[in-house]
């Protein structure tokens, strides 16, 4: 009798806690409201398959020789980005004409040359000291035995998405709808050789890490992996890390998707203990390890992953557009919300 009583009392306490948790989540969801959705759609639509394609083809051209850290092709690609930002009237946070966060030779292994992260930004109108970092690595594997590793998906796709988002935010600003918080567009070097560009960035941040609200990181978003090909379900993206530090970030991402893009958000690789360990394997992890909430956007691996056959003709540009628009609307929310995104107290 007694045992039964205690057991049912415990069940009652448990279900009360459940109800409280469910209520808390409901309140959290209700607090996420996208103001001026028509603007998010308007400026999001300036991200087009045609422009994305033009950027991906240029970044994956033989001229850039597979964009290997420290090599000529990487420097040419950096210069291409700098010209893009100058042409679009998007400034550098490092000051006039200096779009390179230089990283000296000594930071890399002994014989590799110096390199740089390429940076541009749009200053926030109300909270300029707070920043949203949108990142993608620019480097890839270079050339070997006469083969060029073009890296169209890895990561010209992410780089092109960052460029197009920067342009969209800049157009909005020109029309008087600039973001309230600052947005940093961060093109990282040396990801392929150990996340070194992002590691350098978090040790030498341009904005203090306390004022870094979130990092949205993109690495490969132009293709469809085998799992989704077989399911005939191309309209997806893997979301990794969104709920690890901030429950609210996860729901912002979900709300942005259901309101603007309707992709299938696949959380397969976000499972704790997933053997692929993608959460630890791209640049966002250097931010997450400093307690900055992150989302990692990824299409999964495919047969051309880290092969010379990762070429621009295999990218699905309308899908790349949709994924970029999801990231854009999420960034728009983070940059414009009344309250700054917080890290969960207990996690
Ligand atoms: Zn990559």
The answer to the question of residue 341 being in a domain is no
Q: Provide the pLDDT for residue 107.
A: 83
Q: Provide the pLDDT for residue 220.
A: 97
Flag whether pLDDT at 347 surpasses 60: no
Task: Tally the domains of the chain.
Answer: 2
CATH of the domain at 331: 3.40.630.10
Q: Provide the pLDDT for residue 248.
A: 96
Ligand 1 centroid – CA 187 distance (Å): 12
Q: Provide the pLDDT for residue 79.
A: 98
Sign of the torsion formed by the C-alpha atoms of 254, 181, 211 and 284: positive
Ligand 1 centroid – CA 158 distance (Å): 9
**Structural domain span for residue 18:** 1-30
**Percent of the chain predicted with pLDDT > 90:** 86
The pocket of ion ligand 1, defined by CB under 5 A, consists of: 154-155, 219
Based on the fold, state whether residues 159 and 68 are members of the same structural domain.
yes
Residues in the chain: 347
Based on the fold, state whether residues 80 and 113 are members of the same structural domain.
yes
Nearest to 298 by CA among 189, 153, 169: 153
Q: What is the pLDDT of residues 172-196, one digit of tens each?
A: 999 999 999 999 999 999 998 889 9
Q: Provide the pLDDT for residue 15.
A: 78
Based on the fold, state whether residues 21 and 136 are members of the same structural domain.
no
Ligand 1 centroid – CA 167 distance (Å): 23
The answer to the question of residue 343 being in a domain is no
Q: Provide the pLDDT for residue 2.
A: 59
The answer to the question of residue 344 being in a domain is no
Nearest to 215 by CA among 129, 327, 99: 327
Flag whether pLDDT at 338 surpasses 70: yes
DSSP state at residue 271: S
Flag whether pLDDT at 111 surpasses 70: no
Structure tokens at 63: 């001229």
Given a contact cutoff of 8 angstroms between Cβ atoms, the answer to whether 267 and 180 are in contact is: no
Flag whether pLDDT at 145 surpasses 80: yes
Based on the fold, state whether residues 12 and 132 are members of the same structural domain.
no
Ligand 1 centroid – CA 138 distance (Å): 8
Q: Provide the pLDDT for residue 106.
A: 80
User: What is the separation of C-alpha 62 from the centre of its chain, rounded to a whole number of angstroms?
Assistant: 26
Q: Provide the pLDDT for residue 5.
A: 64
What is the mean pLDDT of the segment spanning 206-216?
A: 97
What is the mean pLDDT of the segment spanning 79-103?
A: 96
Q: Provide the pLDDT for residue 6.
A: 66
Flag whether pLDDT at 225 surpasses 90: yes
């Amino acid at each position: 009798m007694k045992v039964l009583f205690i057991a049912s009392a415990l069940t009652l306490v448990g279900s009360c806690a459940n109800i409280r948790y469910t209520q808390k989540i409901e309140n959290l969801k209700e607090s996420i409201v996208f103001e001026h959705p028509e603007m998010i759609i308007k400026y999001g639509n300036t991200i087009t398959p045609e422009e994305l394609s033009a950027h991906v083809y240029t970044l994956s051209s033989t001229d850039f020789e597979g964009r290997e850290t420290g090599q000529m092709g990487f420097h040419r690609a950096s210069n291409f980005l700098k010209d893009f930002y100058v042409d679009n009237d998007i400034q550098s946070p490092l000051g006039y004409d200096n779009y390179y966060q230089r990283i000296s030779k000594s930071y890399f292994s002994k014989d590799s040359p110096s390199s740089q992260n390429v940076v541009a930004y749009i200053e926030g109108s109300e909270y300029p000291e707070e920043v949203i970092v949108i990142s993608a690595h620019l480097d890839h594997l270079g050339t070997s035995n006469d083969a060029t590793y073009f890296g169209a998906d890895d990561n010209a796709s992410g780089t092109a998405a960052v460029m197009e988002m920067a342009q969209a935010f800049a157009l909005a600003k020109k029309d008087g709808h600039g973001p309230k918080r600052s947005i940093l567009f961060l093109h990282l070097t040396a990801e392929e050789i150990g996340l070194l560009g992002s590691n350098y960035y978090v040790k030498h941040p341009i904005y203090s890490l306390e004022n870094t609200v979130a990092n949205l990181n993109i690495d490969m978003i132009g293709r469809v992996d085998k799992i989704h090909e077989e399911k005939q379900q191309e309209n997806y993206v893997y979301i990794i890390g969104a709920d690890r530090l901030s429950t609210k970030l996860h729901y912002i991402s979900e709300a942005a998707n259901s309101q603007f893009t309707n992709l299938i958000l696949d959380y397969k690789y976000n499972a704790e203990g997933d053997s692929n360990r993608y959460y630890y394997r791209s640049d966002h992890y250097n931010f997450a390890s400093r307690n900055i909430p992150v989302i990692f956007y990824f299409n999964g691996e495919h047969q051309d992953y880290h092969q010379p056959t990762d070429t621009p003709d295999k990218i699905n540009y309308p899908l790349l557009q949709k994924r970029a628009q999801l990231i854009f609307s999420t960034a728009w929310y983070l940059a414009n919300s009344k309250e700054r995104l917080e890290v969960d107290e207990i996690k």
